[in-house]
Amino acid sequence: MPFRFFDHTADVGLELSAPTLPALFEEAALALSAVLSRSGRVEPRRHVSVSLTAPSLEQLLVDWLAELLGRFDVELWVTGGVEVTVDRGDGRCSLQALVAGEPLDLRRHPGALPVKGITYHRLSVLQTADGWCATIVLDV
């Protein structure tokens, strides 16, 4: 599994790694979905498009997960698959995504872990010899 959870007294930490930047953002979405759905199987029944712009990769990662978290709160949206493109240039980063998923169904999913927000605590997005890695902490 390319993402890993780490313990934090009142929060949930995520460590992500991927060969490319788009794959890192895809992993982040699936990791959040695994938290929200308590690792329940998510079917790609519907698709939504997401478009975001931010001044840094770190802010883009926060915005990306905050967008998906907001959708969860409004329509119980959980992500089962995602295709991301990331562009960088002129001091700005942008993301285009096609997200596949469905509303959480408590008859099929084992419950939901409430996530309050996406924090900046220990936030990092770094390029490594093997690709990219990120750390992000969810406020639960």
Partner 1 sequence: MYHNVPTGVGARRRDLQLSSRDLRAVLERGAAWAVARGYGTEADLERVEERGCLPGADPDLLSARALERGRPQLGTLGSGNHFAELQYVSEIYDAPVAAAFGLRLDQVTIMLHSGSRGLGHQVCQDHLRVMVDASRRYGIALPDRQLCCAPLESPEGRRYLAAMSAAANFAFANRQVMAHWVRESVAEALEIAPEATQLDTLYDVCHNIAKLETFQIDGRPQRLCVHRKGATRAYPPGHPDTPAPYRHVGQPVLVPGDMGRYSYVLVGTVQAMRETFGSTCHGAGRRMSRRQATRVGDARGLLDELRARGIHVRAAGLATVAEERPEAYKDVADIVRIVHAAGVSTRVAQLRPLAVIKG
Binding residues for partner 1, rule: CB under 8 A, are 5, 7-10, 12, 38, 55, 59, 62-63, 66, 69-70, 73-74, 76, 104, 106, 110-114, 116-123, 139-140
E strands in the chain: 3-8, 11-18, 46-54, 77-89, 92-103, 117-118, 124-128, 131-139
Q: State the nearest-atom distance from the C-beta of 7 to partner 1, in Å.
A: 4
Nearer to partner 1, 124 or 127 (CB): 124
Q: State the nearest-atom distance from the C-beta of 19 to partner 1, in Å.
A: 27
Smallest Cα–Cα separation from 23: which of 64, 65, 84? 84
The answer to whether the CB of 99 falls within 8 A of the CB of 79 is yes
Q: State the nearest-atom distance from the C-beta of 119 to partner 1, in Å.
A: 5
Nearer to partner 1, 7 or 90 (CB): 7
The answer to whether the CB of 32 falls within 8 A of the CB of 62 is no
Please identify which residue in the block is written with the tokens 């605590």: 121
The enclosing H or E element of 74 equals helix 57-75
Nearer to partner 1, 23 or 76 (CB): 76
Q: State the nearest-atom distance from the C-beta of 55 to partner 1, in Å.
A: 8
Nearer to partner 1, 86 or 115 (CB): 115
